[in-house]
Amino acid sequence: MSEQNKEQIKEKTSFPAMEEEVLEFWNEADIFNKSLSKDAPHGEYVFYDGPPFATGTPHYGHLVGSIMKDVIPRYQTMRGYHVARKWGWDCHGLPIENIVEKELGTKTKKEIEELGVAKFNDLCRARVSTYIDDWKKVINRLGRWADMENSYRTMDLNYMETIWWTFKQIWDKGLIYKDYRSMHICPRCETTLSQSEVSEGYKDIKDLSATAKFELVGEPGTYVLAWTTTPWTLIGNVALAVGAEIDYVKIKTEEGNYILAKARLTDVMKDKQYKIISELKGADLVGKKYKPLFDYYYNDKSLENHDNGWKIYAADFVTTEDGVGIVHIAPAFGEDDMNLGKAEHLPFIQHVGMDGLFKAEVKDFAGLHVKPIDDHMATDVEIIKYLAAHGLLFHKEKYEHSYPHCWRCDTPLINYATSSWFVNVTKLKPQLLEEAKKINWSPDYLKNGRFGNWLEGARDWSISRQRFWASAIPIWECANGHRHVVGSVKELETLTGEKIDDIHKDKVDSLTFACAECGEKMTRISDVIDCWFESGSMPYAELHYPFDNKEKLEKDFPAQFIAEGVDQCRTWFYYLHVISGALRGERAFQNVIANGIVLAEDGKKMSKKLKNYPDPLLVMDKYGSDALRAYLLSSPVMLAENLNFSEKGVEESLRKNIMVLWNVYKFYEMYAEGIGGPVVEPKSINVLDVWIIAKLKLLNKEITEAMEAYNLPKATRPIADFIDELSTWYLRRSRDRFKSDDVKDKQNALITTRYVFTELAKLMAPAMPFMAENLWQKASGNNFTDKNKSVHLETWTEFKELDEEENIVLFQMEVTRNIVELGLARRDEAGIKIRQMLSSITVKAENELSENYVDLLKDELNLTAIKFIKSEDNIEVELDTVITPELKKEGIKRELIRLINNLRKDNNLSISDTAHVSVIGASEEINEVIKERGIEIMKDTLSQPLDVAASISEGQIPKEVKIDDCKFAINLI
Ligand SMILES: [Zn+2]
Ligand SMILES: [Zn+2]
């Protein structure tokens, strides 16, 4: 920074500019690295950073996360730990693939394959770092200390090698298997998704449901009804399911005979005319054959299990809660359907491809998408039209339901039978639940709530994705079904004889080797790994464990602390836990803070399109990072609750935390000349000094306890309260001491205040690192000169219990302030301004206060005397409201002093400036006071001289003022 720039920044007194200076100091003096290399008597405090996707600039959610991840490590560093803060980047997966796809304009997976996986992956790799500079800027400005230079990236060879190692470890334990089952797939991305990915994308949508007519073979004109919310699956229908014990009826209508559940009759028939012909149990229907709605597959007699198809079966998942109490079965498109298909050996019809398009043999609909993203009902409408035209539609209806969508591309998902690789979470679950009991949550209800529930209900984890830009699944297979899992780069090199420096899909797909069992060629399965497997493996992969850092990980596992948004209960927190459970049989983290969501001020989601929130960088430029940090830290967003972001809130946080404190400091600085040397603990016996030190100790206790409990609002809110008491009670009541001729008392006030500043700075340092640094540098006298000194290199002060004397002072001061409050209320009721001195109050209280407090009371309430009456009841205060001529004069004197001092302030006079003051056109009474008490007024207002004039002289610009009803003017020369 040039000298000129430095000067410019100094000229600005704004807090954001002061923060920029602090940043400059941290940078030049390398304070972050010094905080890492300083003595750490307690050893390592292990923190894992969840890697963000750099697919956009950081938003408030990221800021909240970053603040938590800064506060705790700063605190633990001051406590005497070494806290490494390695940054990570999540590079793989659908987010980045989707961005590249948008740029390419590709619509299908096939187009990417035509382009070439290598080329596509290169584009993804190039896109990953687009926003990294924006991130660095924001994170730095926020004051978060993180090692972004040596960050880990999930796409780096070392990282990916550990992923392979991890996979192989879990494989060797028999916890990974392949299965063909009903899953949710995204037909646009053409990939399977995991339970948590699916759970992220539920939205309410309107759909068309249909009740179709299935005519019984050998009973012309008699139809079994079945209701479906996915009419497009009817082509894949091979069976109908009934409940064996459910009551059904056969009814006669004008259009024919229908069979449906008795319990559904009124709802289904509504006002239609019908007559019950007979009643029967579901079991009576089982085995009956019906005519298929479509014949595309029925006509293919070579279809496996053809004979078992198009019949009625009993199933225990059938209910009469909705529909008609009879379920249409398409084994390729639903879990229950598939299970029944397996159990009853039903034909299997998959008339739709992974791409969501009807296959060619479905002649009337070939090529249609089952759930087009722009009009998701379009194909169902076509199916319903077909049914109606063929006399097979009983009823159609619009209805709303919650339907899953792709979390990345928003395409409606479809339930689709396909094969996938799974981690056997079910088998691990008892141990995962046991280990989860040892995790400490903030807020604590997440432990058994969101996280515990999700873990409890967890199913096997589908880890294979049919995509491109990710870690490749390291399974090689031969034609005879033998499998080999590769666990390291070196192993693959040995097997293939190739030199390998990249193990992305496009590089390893062509690598083959001979099967150890049968000698046939082994090729890699084409799937890649769910990128949550990568972020869940970060504790090992960031260290390239076990290829490097073997001992380090063994020594440091698990993490003491992690933090992310509450949504990660189903994802990062969960996958960390699952992988460490599978790998090591233990939990991956001991303490976790989960934050809530930052919403726009109106309670809506923050949206770039709607521009309903201020840019984070602009907010920091306007109010400073400390103000933003303190605002967020004090809010329930740090305890997993939502926050409606308010710029006003940030402004208020600036005022309460930063400005008030800075004003106290500026006042101190005016009188602190000659105060220097090492900061010492004050030994003053002045009750105000003892009181503020006791308050400081309590603040230390409160913050320390809240930090240890990982409760950030509790650790932050008391700071503003303390600053308020420092300013509105300690400083206000000590103001005269700072100016006092009593050297000892003045010294006591200054030394105490200085000590409070340096200690408060330490307590504030984790939450508000900029103001803390500034205050500490100034008050300690280092003033940014010694580059080895910083509040962030200081040691956290151990909390000491209050001694007896301190407890007494705290109590007495509380009584005093209580009396003040009551006294002011009495004055208010009597309509007597505080500047009007009164003769006395009578206080009824349990104990009489000592002289120190009586003096405070007299000053604060502007009284000449205080009388105490002993009383066991609550404190009561009575005011003597008689204003004697003497009191009146004293009141006028004080008003004059205040008015003149205000004028001095307006004219920017300092304490070394004297001024000639003239009072013009005042009343007899006021002039009298000036005559009688001029010397006192002159002393308190540095007036030299003070005189009374009858009229304004030429060249004077007097200020109009008022005392009671008398208007007059004061001139200051
Ligand atoms: Zn998708
Ligand atoms: Zn083989």
Give 523 Cα–ligand 2 centroid separation in angstroms. 11
Give 503 Cα–ligand 2 centroid separation in angstroms. 23
- pLDDT > 90: what percent of the chain? 79
CB neighbour burial string for 899-920, b if at least 16 within 10 angstroms, e if fewer: bbeebbeeeebeeeeebebbbb
Alpha carbon 258 to its chain centroid, in Å, reads 55
Structure tokens at 165: 């190692």
Q: Give the closest ligand to the alpha carbon of residue 484.
A: 2
- Give the contacts of 534 (CB within 8 A, at least 6 positions apart): 90, 92, 154, 159, 163, 470, 471, 541
Q: Which residue has the tokens 């000892």?
A: 744
Virtual CA dihedral for 769, 619, 61, 604, nearest 10 degrees? 150
How does the average pLDDT of the chain come out, rounded?
A: 93
Q: Give the closest ligand to the alpha carbon of residue 413.
A: 1
Virtual CA dihedral for 369, 372, 376, 379, nearest 10 degrees? -30
Distance from C-alpha of 89 to C-alpha of 896, rounded to nearest angstrom: 65
| Position with higher pLDDT, 953 vs 287 | 287
pLDDT (0 to 100) of residue 267: 92
Distance from C-alpha of 341 to C-alpha of 319, rounded to nearest angstrom: 18
Distance from C-alpha of 318 to C-alpha of 241, rounded to nearest angstrom: 7
- How many residues are recorded in the chain? 973
Q: For the segment 96-127, what is each residue's pLDDT rounded down to a tens digit?
A: 999 999 999 988 899 999 999 999 999 999 99
Which whole-number Å values give the CA distances from 918 to 492, 922, 938, in the listed order? Answer: 95, 10, 11
Q: Give the closest ligand to the alpha carbon of residue 201.
A: 1
Q: Give the closest ligand to the alpha carbon of residue 478.
A: 2
Give 94 Cα–ligand 1 centroid separation in angstroms. 8
> Helices 15-29 and 3-11, interaxial angle, to 10°?
140
Q: How far apart are the first and last CA of the chain?
A: 43
Distance from C-alpha of 442 to C-alpha of 539, rounded to nearest angstrom: 21
In this structure, of 148-152, 748-752, 877-881, the range with the lowest mean pLDDT score is 877-881
Beta strand pairing call for 191-192 and 202-215: unpaired
Q: Which residues, chain by chain, have CB under 5 Å from ion ligand 1?
A: 186, 188-189, 406, 409, 411
Give 521 Cα–ligand 2 centroid separation in angstroms. 7
Taking alpha carbons only, the member of 702, 814, 847, 848 closest to residue 763 is 702
Give mean pLDDT, residues 282-287.
96
Give 192 Cα–ligand 1 centroid separation in angstroms. 9
CB 152 within 8 A of CB 49: no
Q: For the segment 508-520, what is each residue's pLDDT rounded down to a tens digit?
A: 999 999 999 999 9
Give 477 Cα–ligand 2 centroid separation in angstroms. 7
pLDDT (0 to 100) of residue 533: 97
Q: Give the closest ligand to the alpha carbon of residue 466.
A: 1
Burial (CB count within 10 angstroms: exposed 0-12, middle 13-18, buried 19+), residue 13: exposed
pLDDT (0 to 100) of residue 961: 87
pLDDT (0 to 100) of residue 8: 41
| Position with higher pLDDT, 969 vs 441 | 441
CB 901 within 8 A of CB 894: no
pLDDT (0 to 100) of residue 418: 93
Virtual CA dihedral for 75, 77, 83, 86, nearest 10 degrees? 70
Q: For the segment 330-339, what is each residue's pLDDT rounded down to a tens digit?
A: 999 999 999 9
Count how many Cα atoms sit within 13 Å of the Cα of residue 763 in the half-sphere of its side chain.
31
Look at residue 90 and give its three-state secondary structure.
strand
Instruction: Give 524's strand partners.
Output: 476
In this structure, of 458-472, 545-559, 890-904, the range with the lowest mean pLDDT score is 890-904
> Helices 687-708 and 743-764, interaxial angle, to 10°?
10
55 pLDDT higher than 50: yes
Distance from C-alpha of 64 to C-alpha of 42, rounded to nearest angstrom: 28
CB 392 within 8 A of CB 213: yes
Q: For the segment 921-945, what is each residue's pLDDT rounded down to a tens digit?
A: 888 888 899 899 988 898 888 888 8
Q: Give the closest ligand to the alpha carbon of residue 516.
A: 2
| Strand ranges in 671-791 using DSSP code E only, listed in sequence order | none
Band (2; pLDDT cuts 50, 70, 90): very low
Give 180 Cα–ligand 2 centroid separation in angstroms. 22
Distance from C-alpha of 912 to C-alpha of 447, rounded to nearest angstrom: 63
pLDDT (0 to 100) of residue 7: 42
Taking alpha carbons only, the member of 850, 833, 822 closest to residue 898 is 833
Distance from C-alpha of 15 to C-alpha of 654, rounded to nearest angstrom: 9
- Give the contacts of 386 (CB within 8 A, at least 6 positions apart): 364, 365
Q: Give the closest ligand to the alpha carbon of residue 200.
A: 1
Distance from C-alpha of 541 to C-alpha of 546, rounded to nearest angstrom: 9
3 pLDDT higher than 80: no
Give 82 Cα–ligand 2 centroid separation in angstroms. 51
What phi and psi values does residue 562 have, to the nearest 5 degrees?
Answer: -140, 160
Q: For the segment 442-491, what is each residue's pLDDT rounded down to a tens digit?
A: 999 999 999 999 999 999 999 999 999 999 999 999 999 999 999 999 99
> Helices 712-725 and 743-764, interaxial angle, to 10°?
160
Q: Which residues, chain by chain, have CB under 5 Å from ion ligand 2?
A: 478, 480, 482, 515, 517-518, 520
Q: Which residues are catalytic?
A: 51, 90, 532, 568, 572, 605, 608
Give mean pLDDT, residues 296-310.
94
Distance from C-alpha of 489 to C-alpha of 471, rounded to nearest angstrom: 13
CB 291 within 8 A of CB 310: yes
| Strand ranges in 156-284 using DSSP code E only, listed in sequence order | 176-186, 191-192, 202-215, 222-228, 239-242, 247-252, 257-261, 275-281
1 pLDDT higher than 60: no
Give 191 Cα–ligand 1 centroid separation in angstroms. 8
Q: Give the closest ligand to the alpha carbon of residue 467.
A: 1
Does the pTM exceed 0.85? yes
Cis peptide before 443 (omega within 30 of 0): yes
Give 186 Cα–ligand 1 centroid separation in angstroms. 5
Burial (CB count within 10 angstroms: exposed 0-12, middle 13-18, buried 19+), residue 924: exposed
Give 193 Cα–ligand 1 centroid separation in angstroms. 9
CB 725 within 8 A of CB 688: no
542 pLDDT higher than 70: yes
Give mean pLDDT, residues 58-70.
95
Q: What's the one-letter identity of residue 132?
A: I
Give mean pLDDT, residues 637-663.
96
Report the range out of 9-23, 549-563, 923-937 with the highest average pLDDT: 549-563
Look at residue 348 and give its three-state secondary structure.
coil
Distance from C-alpha of 786 to C-alpha of 794, rounded to nearest angstrom: 14
What phi and psi values does residue 672 have, to the nearest 5 degrees?
Answer: -90, 10
Taking alpha carbons only, the member of 601, 580, 585, 477 closest to residue 527 is 477
Band (129; pLDDT cuts 50, 70, 90): confident
Give 474 Cα–ligand 2 centroid separation in angstroms. 16
> Helices 625-633 and 60-78, interaxial angle, to 10°?
90
Give 418 Cα–ligand 1 centroid separation in angstroms. 16
Alpha carbon 402 to its chain centroid, in Å, reads 26
Give 501 Cα–ligand 2 centroid separation in angstroms. 27
Q: Give the closest ligand to the alpha carbon of residue 476.
A: 2
| Sign of the CA dihedral with 185 first, then 191, 193, and 197 last | negative
Distance from C-alpha of 839 to C-alpha of 770, rounded to nearest angstrom: 48
Give 354 Cα–ligand 2 centroid separation in angstroms. 29
Beta strand pairing call for 943-949 and 915-920: parallel
Distance from C-alpha of 793 to C-alpha of 774, rounded to nearest angstrom: 14
Give 370 Cα–ligand 1 centroid separation in angstroms. 14
Band (13; pLDDT cuts 50, 70, 90): low
260 pLDDT higher than 80: yes
Give 482 Cα–ligand 2 centroid separation in angstroms. 4
Beta strand pairing call for 239-242 and 311-314: parallel
pLDDT (0 to 100) of residue 207: 92
Distance from C-alpha of 573 to C-alpha of 744, rounded to nearest angstrom: 58
Burial (CB count within 10 angstroms: exposed 0-12, middle 13-18, buried 19+), residue 793: middle
| Position with higher pLDDT, 197 vs 290 | 290
Q: Which helix (H) or strand (E) holds 704?
A: helix 687-708
955 pLDDT higher than 80: no
CB 451 within 8 A of CB 599: no
